[in-house]
Amino acid sequence: MRCYFLNDGHIAGVEMLPLGLSDKDAIARAHMLSAKRMGPFDGFEVWHRGRCVFRFRSAETLAPTSRASQRPLTEDRTRRDVRGPRPHFS
């Protein structure tokens, strides 16, 4: 198994995990390695051959994934709120 350390979605480093680890043990080992890892990275993935066993991304780096939380661009490339204007309370 391999543990890939990611920075902005790109591989920033890799660690070979010992042979014979269960998925659970490999994930625990990857968490331990990520805590000790130096350098910029925002997540990691554990892979066994072509199978993604586990994926972790730091909460601070996650982008919104639901369309409801994203605001589309207007023609002048500025953001607009799709829910309408916010009410004013005086």
Q: Does pLDDT of 27 surpass 50?
A: yes
Domain ranges of the chain: 2-52
* Mean pLDDT value across residues 2-31: 94
Q: Does pLDDT of 8 surpass 50?
A: yes
Q: Does pLDDT of 23 surpass 60?
A: yes
Give the CA distances from residue 8 to residues 53, 54, 60, in Å, rounded to whole numbers and listed in that order.
Answer: 20, 17, 12
Residues in CB range of 58: below 8 A, 6 or more apart: 42, 43
* pTM, to two decimals: 0.63
Interval 35-90: pLDDT, tens: 898 878 899 999 999 999 999 998 654 444 444 444 455 555 555 554 555 555 65
Q: How far apart are CA 66 and CA 83, in angstroms?
A: 14
Tokens of 34: 């990520």
